[in-house]
Amino acid sequence: MENPTTISKQRKTIRRKKTFFVGIAAILAAVVLYLSAQFAPRLSTYNSSNIKKIESTILNKKELLREIAKAWFSTKDTSQKAAFDILDDRTISKLNKENIGIFLCDSTKLAAWSTIPNIADSMLARIDTTMRLYSFNDGWFLASRFKHKGKSAIISIEVQKRYRFTNKFLENRFNPILDIPAYFKISRSSTAAPNTKNTFVVRAGDTPVFVLEKDKNISTPNPIKDALIYTSLILLIIGGWLVIQSISFKRNIRLFFFSLLGWSAICAILVNTLATFPSSLTFFSPELYTSKGASSLAVLAAYTLIFISFCSTIYRHYVDYKIQRRRFLKPLAALLSLFLSLIVLAAHLIVSSLVSHASVSFGVIKISEISRYSLIIYLIIALIIISIILLSNLFFRLFREIPTRTKAAILAIPLLIVSGILALTDSSIAIFFAATLVTYAIFLFRLKAYMRIGIRDISLILILWAVATSTVICHFVVIKDERNRIEFAESLYNEKDPIFEASLPELTQQIVKDKTIHQLIHNPSANDSIIYQHIKKNVLRGYPSKYNLRITICPVKANLFLPNEKKTTSCQKYFNDIFQQKGSKIKNSAFYLIRNFPGEIWYIGQIDYLCSKGLTSLYVEFNVKTISSNPGYPELLLKKNEPRVKGYRDYEYAHYFDSSLVAKNGSYSYPFIIEPPTKKDSIQVRPQKGYSNLYYRFDQHNTMVISRPILNLFDIASCFSYIFISLVLVGLLVLKFSRFPLDDTLSLQSFKGRITLSFVVVLIVTLILTAAVSLTYGIKRFEAYKEQTIQDKMKSAIPAVYNALYTPSSESLTDELVKISNYLYVDVNLYNISGELVATSRPEIFYDGLQGFKMSPKAYKSLALIYDGFFVDNEKIGDMTYTSSYSPISDSNGKLIGYVNLPYFLQYDNLRKELYTIAITIANIFILLLLPVILIAVLISNSITSPLAQIRNRMRIFDLKTNPEPIPYKQNDEIGDLIVEFNKMILQVESSAKLLADNERDLAWREMARQIAHEIKNPLTPMKLSLQYLMMLKGKKDERWLEQFDRFAASQVEQIDSLAKIANEFSDFAKINFDEQITILDLRAAVNEILPIFDGFPNLNFEVNMPNAPVNVRVGREHLKRVIVNLVKNAIQSVDDDKTAIIAITVIEEMGKATLSVKDNGKGIADEVKPKLFTPNFTTKSSGTGLGLAICKNLIEAYNGTIWFESEVDRGSTFYIELPSVTAPA
């Protein structure tokens, strides 16, 4: 205590004022933000100022394009090279980034273009000098023309993308540079109508160009309101926690616990209420995750944060708490043990729910599919595990007085009971309970001797839980994967198109009633292609247009050649067999749904016609692939509502008919013949050749096999890495905040900790550099592979295209390019020497308006003007980026005839998987090396710091009285030099101390002699005077001599007793007997022993306040009694004789300290006297040596205690003794 004479240890309602006021400020800010959210619609209203920004942007971009046009007009050269010199690559990239373009024309001929024109030539010619809104093939554009002396420049500014169909790559959105919200729709403006609340006119200068109108079918998002509400909730929760942390609940633990529990419940209710508000954020979407307990992943994350905050606050408050009532120890321990078991059970259920219900990959089966939401899920799991670790440690700290065996039984019994019951339904729960038991064991044995946990122990616990959690996650991932494969097999087998099937009855009647087909069917051999074109033109319109058409005409007794089987069979019998074995009749139509190849919807219809030679059957086949294996643009061409099977990228599969392989997809080598599952056990999982194959038998003929690679150790290790890193990141932060008793192994405050941390940092830096180099090398290797692949494909494509151009064939050039595309597994486009499209293997890309019919301007400039032999660049359609290569093609005479373009869609998933694999491998190496590195670092740091520790210990116990010996150290190093100097210092200090001790001893004895002489002189003077007076009376033979002699003898005895008392008190102060045996003593018993001493004192009342439980201290019994007697005696003497003395003795134990106070109602102590009160020889009494309080202070401090007082004049004084409390042995 800094000043033992000042008042201290006042109990305050608010312990930390700064924290309290910060919490109140957070709560007030939350209220203000929530109220502000009610006005958020007004804040976020789209108004005229936003329109002015759009108009300003349009004018700025128009001026930019005008400057390019001026540069074109200023040059006299009208060649394409001059035009493209103005549109350099940098300018083209800048314009494309902002979705604006310019087309430079010489007269009516297009000389250069900055972007591929996606507009009909006829419309391009109609664009005049007035800026208007035009509908191009892929959206709305503002366009106008600049003219100058026969030259012109057409400029375009994209306003909104409008595709004919949408998917994940093609979305109808406004140009980002215009900053127009998605809830607007656009239309042309013919009049300058005034702006209204929901309608705005946008002008280019003074000319109205288009109108923005709010679409009533699209809800208006309000991000400002969402942000304000979420921020207010977060501030409210944080503010509440801070206020609870700052309030002092004194010793009322129940009030604190229920206050904290109540606030946690309020926070949970607020989160649950907030979850009912609609939000545009994916994090709050039930599509990401939903369950019975949490409506979204955000809600589950909020619940987890509330729970970990509850556990952390409980731990901080009770970590050093000592339960006073021993009879409650075991019931409370059993209750906490049961609560821990339920938390472990809840953790297992949450992991199971997350894996089963979240549409988020855990990065186990497909490592490259890890996302930010996956990391959030891992953090949620990590926080739950940290709460288990916190509460487990709290159990051992609260109930450390319970015997070890009893404690182990209390912990194990609830776990084993719950685990035994639930393991019957799910054995994976046993893994979590086993991890919990091992955690208990580590705490049980590591906390037995001391209350701190080593970094090695906590690392072992985190690794243990990471292993257990990753194993459980992989277990549930396998279960979910099996369920997904079953659904995938069912969707493959039962896939159909309900929309198309609904139109088949009408389509049947249309074909039956078609008179043209009736006329042509009589001569099938001559008219089959005409019938085909007629059906394709008249039937395949609208929705059915995506289907492929094939017709087969079978006259009576006609045969059909099967090229795959190289045999001829009856035509009608062939189709009848298909209908019977694989077909399902579509109601009210002539069509059958055929289950043939997985990933394909196939319908066959049979329509009979009565001809002159008999019955002729027309078989009309419609098929479409729901799983596209075509090269190039398959994902880009998939329409959003188009029927397709989910999961086809995740699995390989095969279709068996009567145990024979009829179709397969993927690299797995499926056998031609299998033994299908039995009808009773129709679904089986069989591991074969490193794959997990799920066999699903649908009927007696059809069996689907869905395959994926078996999970290996690396897959589990990736999950382990994610969860361990999450545990380390959030775990150490939470443990540090919760005042978890970690040792200083990794503390920067200790030399040993800095050495260990240095090793860990070196390991981390080394692995990060290794990862960076490996990832860079992997990317470069992939780029080199990509370039080489593109060049190889182009080398193969050039001669193939040449043969298609110059080899006579009945098929069109487009069909020939389709063959080349299927052979090279890449799309092929052919442009003429002017850069215009001639033919393509994928015409729908161009005719659906996804791409214009011109070459890329960069490619055309490179090949046609710079005469490069090969050009590669990244191009973009919608949000899909791909690599496009171009090469010139010449005829046999070397004359340029055009340019071949190969759009190459790289397998970026493979690159991502390879990079993830490298990162996870390095992370696993780090985890495997972490503990050995820490162990080695600790050993090295111990070897370095152990001599320093010896020096520290020697200095700590250094006492010249014990003749300290030099420290032995044999190493001849820097520490050895330090120890040599320390040993020299010991000798020098010992020599100096002897001299100093001799001097101090002389001074002390002189001072003591002076004090003794002074005290002795006081009684000797009256003794001498009395003796001289007595001698005088005897010499005079006075009669009074005998009478005076008796009085003199009595007086001399009294003075001699006074001298003896003085001698004894000086002896007591000079040498206090510390040879007395020190024992564990109950402070209450010591008080009760001294009270009878004062029974005979008049006008004295005692008020004794002591707890029921023992208050044990380690002290000498007689010393403690002497101090208490002295304090009580002084208290009694401070009260006037005519006043009843009321002495209050109080004993309390708090925070590991035992405190005894003695309070009186006496005169009090004056301020000028307080600093001298514990000084030897100082006294306020008329008699006494002034050594009593000095001796008390000496005794209490000898036992590591503190003595102080509080006093107020005329009100009384209170003296306090504080000693460390101890636990009595059982």
Distance between CA atoms of 803 and 554, rounded to whole angstroms? 36
pLDDT value for 1182: 47
Residue 677 DSSP one-character state: P
pLDDT of 831 > 90? The answer is yes
- Note the pLDDT of residue 1073: 52
Torsion of CA 253, 257, 263, 269, to 10 degrees: -160
Say yes or no to pLDDT of 665 above 90. Answer: no
67 pLDDT exceeds 90?
A: yes
pLDDT greater than 80 at residue 1215: yes
Residue pair 845/814 in contact (Cβ under 8 Å)? The answer is no
Identical fold between 45-214 and 1072-1220: no
State the pairing for strand pair 652-657/109-113.
unpaired
Q: How far is CA 802 from the centre of its chain?
A: 56
Distance CA 817, CA 812 (A): 9
- Each residue's pLDDT tens digit, 976-1019: 777 777 777 777 776 776 776 667 656 656 655 666 665 666 66
pLDDT-derived band at 7, boundaries 50, 70, 90: very low
Token pair in block for residue 872? 């590669």
* Mean pLDDT computed over 231-260: 77
Band (pLDDT 50/70/90 cuts) for residue 77 is confident
Which of the pair, 193 or 914, is modelled with greater confidence?
A: 914
Q: Name the range with the highest mean pLDDT among 531-535, 598-602, 1035-1039, 1141-1145.
A: 1141-1145
CA distance 880 to 711: 32
Q: Give the model's pLDDT for residue 654.
A: 87
Per-residue pLDDT tens digits for 104-151: 998 778 899 998 877 777 777 888 888 989 888 888 999 999 998 889
Residue 161: pLDDT above 80? yes
| pLDDT band (50, 70, 90) for residue 10 | very low
More confident residue, 57 or 252: 57
Tokens at 1171, concatenated: 């600093």
**Segment 316-326 mean pLDDT:** 74
Out of 332-336, 384-388, 400-404, 738-742, the most confident range is 384-388
Q: Give burial (CB, 10 Å; 0-12/13-18/19+) of 190.
A: exposed
What is the rounded (10 degree) CA torsion for 142, 148, 149, 152?
Answer: -30
Binning pLDDT at 50, 70 and 90, where does residue 50 land? Answer: confident
Res. 791: pLDDT tops 80? yes
Low-confidence winner among 357-361, 587-591, 683-687 (lowest mean pLDDT): 357-361
Measured from the Cβ of residue 524, the count of other Cβ atoms closer than 10 Å reads 19
Output 425 or 488, whichever has higher pLDDT.
Answer: 488
Residues in the chain: 1226
Q: What is the pLDDT of residue 1225?
A: 65
Cβ 551 vs Cβ 535: under 8 Å: yes
Residue 1123 has phi, psi (to 5 degrees) of -65, -45
The phi, psi pair for 1073, rounded to 5°, reads -75, 100
pLDDT of res. 380: 93
Rounded to 10°, the helix 908-956/713-737 angle is: 40
pLDDT at 848: 77
CA atoms within 13 A on the CB side of 942: 7
Mean pLDDT confidence for 772-776:
79
Reported CATH class of domain 45-214: alpha beta
Q: Is the pLDDT of residue 649 over 70?
A: no
Read off the DSSP letter of residue 449: T
User: Where does 275-328 have alpha helices with state H?
Assistant: 297-318
- 765 is written with which tokens? 């830096």
Rounded to the nearest integer, the mean pLDDT of the chain is 80
What lies within 8 Å, CB to CB, of 972 at 6+ separation is none
DSSP E strand stretches across 626-723: 652-657, 660-665, 683-688, 691-697, 702-709
pLDDT above 70 covers a percentage of the chain that reads 80
Please give the average per-residue pLDDT across 852-856, as a whole number.
Answer: 89
Residue 820, pLDDT > 90, answer: no
pLDDT, residue 389, reads 92
6: pLDDT strictly greater than 50: no
Between 250 and 694, where is the model more confident?
A: 694
Pairwise CA distance, residues 107 & 125, whole Å = 11
The per-residue pLDDT for 956 is: 65
CB–CB of 1180/1167 below 8 Å?
Answer: no
What is the layout of strands, in order, in the sheet containing 614-625? 548-554, 614-625, 600-611, 591-594, 583-585
Residue 623 pLDDT > 50: yes
- pLDDT greater than 60 at residue 1203: yes
CATH of domain 1072-1220: 3.30.565.10
227-243 average pLDDT score = 80
Give me the pLDDT at residue 986, please: 74
Query: For 1121-1140, what is the mean pLDDT?
Result: 85
For range 569-583, the mean pLDDT: 85
Query: For the purposes of burial, counting CB atoms within 10 Å of the CB of 5, is it exposed (0-12), middle (13-18) or buried (19 or more)?
Result: middle
Contact yes or no for 582/607 (Cβ under 8 A): no
The single-letter DSSP state of residue 865 is: I
Please say if the pLDDT value at position 2 is more than 50.
Answer: no
Q: List the chain domain ranges.
A: 45-214, 974-1065, 1072-1220
Q: Pick left, alpha or beta for residue 204 (phi over 0 → left; psi -120 to 50 → alpha; otherwise beta).
A: beta
How large is the average pLDDT for residues 663-688? 86
Neighbours of 1045 (CB within 10 A): 13
Least Cα distance to 957 among 999, 979, 980, 986 occurs for 986
Q: Which of 30-44, 123-137, 731-745 has the highest mean pLDDT?
A: 123-137
Residue 332 has pLDDT above 60, yes or no: yes
Between 196 and 377, where is the model more confident? 377
Q: Is the model's pLDDT at 249 over the cut of 90?
A: no
